[in-house]
């Protein structure tokens, strides 16, 4: 089966992420669904790096990449003038995360000599994708600094987990990316619920309800599609039983 | 003279941290997380098809950081909205921990199914009951861990006067407890329990990796048996390590009788004493038992 290239997926994720942030910036919270593609793109790049024998390094790459991306978005969101103009905000987030992501990738390759093929490209892709997701989430959740750790860690797990969960000889890109979609929907669902609490109004804001509803629909569709693939890939599914005796 | 809230905070933090350690280690063992995860993953490749629940979420530190931070964030927002006396904090923490437990169940089930789907070549089947039986147990331990870490974060913020926000303290606690659980507690499960067919304490040479025990006291081993076994030692040791860390760290806020620098001196002396004790213990152990003999 032909795999989707990093460039193709990232190109789509970049356009989709920018559209998502601009929509959210103009008060249309449902634009968060456009952030699902950046989740896929980041998970794909983590897969690209971790495939080269980085079993336990998978989590570290997710940590690192999201740290770069989320930090870039947090830094940009500190500037009020930047935050109030969606176009400037998204441009600054993308530019800063590109520079820091590339720089860390080059340092890892040239100075630490990690010898992972295309580490610069993948590092930049993870940083930019997670930066866009963080920037979108920040616009939805508001400027409460108490929520930053939550935003960081929930995005980290959603992007590092799909490949980590699917690792094995029978892993394939399609199933890993579908799992990434499942987890992207799950993450935006939780962000929607937290946004309801963070809005501090007694009745949930309609935008937050829309996020939860759209994410829940997406989650159901993604789980069904993913489970269909699991059924075609798996050796056998049984309710109970003993493995065949080997020795 | 230390104030009552500081004394109460130190005692409470140490106690809560001890409990959190026990629950965290049991949670990770019920789901074969962290190091045992690789061992269980390798097993079918050398013909040991199993009925373990293999919850590959990530390393223990990020996973626990997520459960604790989600619980603490929800509790933090609820208390900010409805007021934050002790009772409200408890109720809010329970709601937060319950929400993060749902996330844990989702991640756990997705991981187990995905990993087994990638094991087709090695004829490992997915047995629903070997996922659905340990999952509630894992969720229960996960709930208790998230709840106690959230309460601990509130205690550190409120009683001990930690300047950081509650979710950020919970993130630190989650990462720390995950690191301690995977370094202290996992040895007992990943290197000993799974390898009971080898001599105790012999470590896991590359040549035997994946050759785990798949059969238990009766029938095939399952992941409900694991915490039942590890809670007797691994869980308590993890609790002791995390509990001591939090308890002794709280001393830095307690001993300020002659200025702020007193606490720095007290804690530095404490670290020195611990280092000397560990050094002497290792020297004694090496003299007493010698090098590990090959066969």
Q: Which tens digit of pLDDT belongs to each residue from B182-197?
A: 888 887 888 888 888 8
Chain B: closest CA distance from residue A235 (Å): 5
- Look at residue A177 in the predicted model and tell me its pLDDT: 96
Distances, alpha carbon A152 to alpha carbons A158, A187, B142, B288, in Å: 10, 11, 20, 48
Q: Looking at beta carbons, which pairs linking B196-201 to residues 24 or more positions away fall under 8 Å?
A: B201/B292
- Rounded-to-integer distance, Cα B156 and Cα B150, Å: 10
Residue B280 shares a structural domain with residue B165: no
Same domain, B152 and B279: no
Q: How confident is the model at residue A145 (pLDDT cuts 50, 70, 90)?
A: confident
Q: Which residue would you say has higher pLDDT here, B2 or A18?
A: A18
Instruction: Write out the residue range of the structural domain in which residue B283 sits.
Output: 256-295
Query: What element of type H or E holds A49?
Result: helix A36-50
Measure in Å the smallest separation between the Cα of A241 and chain B Cα atoms. Answer: 7
Mean pLDDT computed over B116-125: 92
Kindly determine whether residue A166 and residue B69, on different chains, have CB atoms separated by under 8 Å. no
Burial of B109 (0-12, 13-18, 19+ CB in 10 A): middle
B126 and B46 fall within a common domain: yes
Same domain, B229 and B126: yes
Domain count, chain B: 2
| CA–CA gap between residue B103 and residue A58 (Å, rounded) | 20
Same domain, B248 and B268: no
Helix/strand/coil for B63: helix
- A105 vs chain B: nearest CA distance in angstroms? 22
- In the predicted structure, residue B295 carries a pLDDT above the cut 60: no
- Do you know the residue count of chain B? 295
Question: B203 or B139: whose pLDDT is higher?
Answer: B139
Please return the burial class of B280, using the count of CB atoms within 10 Å of its CB with bins 0-12, 13-18 and 19+: exposed
Contact A242 B219 (CB under 8 A): yes
With a pLDDT cut of 70, the percent of chain B lying above it is 98
Q: Is A130 on the interface with B (CB under 8 A)?
A: no
Residue B127: phi and psi, rounded to 5, are: -105, 115
- Cβ-count burial of A233 within 10 angstroms (0-12 exposed, 13-18 middle, 19+ buried)? buried
In this predicted structure, the answer to whether residue B27 has a pLDDT above a threshold of 90 is yes
pLDDT for A53: 67
CA distances from B76 to A143, B61, B84, B150, B275 (A): 15, 21, 9, 9, 37
At residue A130, the pLDDT reads 96
Lowest mean pLDDT among A190-194, B75-79, B266-270: B266-270
pLDDT bucket at A56, cuts 50 / 70 / 90: low
Q: Tell me which residue in A153, A168, A194 faces B66 most closely, judged by beta carbons.
A: A153
Q: Is B96 found in the same domain as B18?
A: yes
- What the block records as the tokens of B2 is 């230390």
Listed residue (A160, A191, A194, A182) closest to A230, CA to CA: A182
Do B193 and B261 fall into the same domain? no
Q: If you average pLDDT over residues B62-73, what whole number do you get?
A: 96
Same domain, B225 and B262: no
**Residue B206 C-alpha from the chain's centroid:** 26
- B30 and B68 belong to one structural domain: yes
pLDDT at B138: 96
More confident: A60 or A177: A177
Q: Which residues of B touch A179 (CB under 8 A)?
A: 110, 114
Mean pLDDT of chain A: 91
Do B106 and B147 share a domain, yes or no? yes
Q: Is the ipTM of this complex over 0.85?
A: yes
Q: Let me know whether B104 and B180 are in one domain.
A: yes
B220 inside 8 A of chain A by CB:
yes
Mean pLDDT taken over chain B? 90
């Amino acid at each position: 089966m032909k795999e989707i290239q990093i460039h193709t997926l990232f190109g789509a994720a970049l356009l989709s992420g920018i559209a998502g942030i601009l929509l959210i910036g103009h008060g249309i919270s449902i634009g968060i669904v456009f952030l699902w593609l950046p989740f896929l793109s980041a998970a794909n790049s983590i897969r690209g790096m971790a495939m080269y024998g980085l079993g336990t390094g998978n989590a570290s790459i997710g940590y690192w990449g999201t740290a770069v991306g989320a930090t870039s978005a947090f830094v940009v969101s500190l500037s009020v003038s930047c935050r109030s103009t969606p176009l400037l905000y998204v441009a600054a987030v993308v530019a800063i995360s590109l520079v820091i992501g590339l720089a860390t990738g080059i340092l890892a390759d040239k100075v630490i000599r990690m010898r992972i093929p295309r580490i610069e490209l993948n590092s930049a892709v993870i940083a930019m994708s997670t930066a866009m997701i963080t920037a979108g989430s920040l616009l939805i959740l508001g400027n409460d600094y108490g929520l930053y750790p939550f935003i960081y860690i929930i995005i980290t797990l959603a992007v590092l987990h799909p490949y980590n969960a699917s690792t094995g000889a029978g892993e394939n890109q399609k199933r890993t990316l579908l799992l990434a979609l499942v987890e992207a929907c799950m993450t935006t669902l939780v962000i929607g619920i937290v946004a309801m609490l963070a809005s501090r109004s007694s009745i949930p804001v309609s935008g937050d309800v829309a996020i939860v509803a759209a994410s829940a629909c997406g989650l159901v569709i993604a789980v069904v599609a993913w489970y269909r693939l699991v059924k075609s890939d798996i050796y056998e599914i049984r309710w109970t039983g003993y493995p065949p005796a080997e020795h | 003279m230390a104030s009552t809230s500081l004394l109460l905070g130190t005692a409470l933090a140490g106690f809560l941290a001890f409990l959190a350690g026990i629950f965290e280690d049991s949670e990770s063992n019920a789901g074969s997380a962290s190091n045992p995860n690789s061992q269980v993953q390798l097993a079918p490749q050398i013909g040991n098809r199993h009925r373990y629940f293999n919850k590959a979420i990530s390393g223990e530190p990020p996973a626990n950081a997520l459960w604790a931070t989600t619980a603490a964030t929800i509790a933090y927002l609820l208390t900010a909205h409805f007021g934050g006396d002790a009772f409200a904090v408890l109720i809010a923490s329970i709601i937060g921990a319950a929400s993060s437990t749902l996330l844990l169940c989702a991640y756990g089930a997705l991981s187990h199914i995905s990993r087994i789907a990638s094991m087709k070549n090695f004829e490992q089947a997915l047995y629903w009951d070997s996922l659905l039986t340990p999952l509630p147990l894992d969720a229960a331990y996960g709930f208790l861990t998230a709840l106690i870490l959230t309460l601990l974060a509130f205690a550190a913020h409120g009683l001990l006067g930690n300047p950081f926000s509650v979710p950020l303290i919970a993130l630190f606690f989650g990462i720390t407890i995950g690191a301690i659980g995977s370094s202290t507690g996992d040895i007992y499960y990943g290197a000993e329990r799974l390898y009971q067919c080898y001599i105790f304490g012999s470590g896991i040479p590359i040549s035997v990796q994946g050759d785990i025990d798949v059969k238990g006291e009766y029938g095939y081993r399952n992941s409900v048996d694991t915490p039942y076994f590890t809670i007797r030692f691994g869980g308590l040791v993890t609790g002791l390590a995390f509990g001591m860390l939090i308890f002794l760290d709280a001393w830095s806020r307690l001993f300020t009788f002659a200025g702020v620098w007193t606490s720095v001196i007290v804690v530095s002396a404490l670290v020195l004493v611990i280092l000397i004790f560990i050094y002497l213990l290792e020297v004694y152990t090496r003299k007493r038992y010698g090098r590990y003999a090959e066969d």
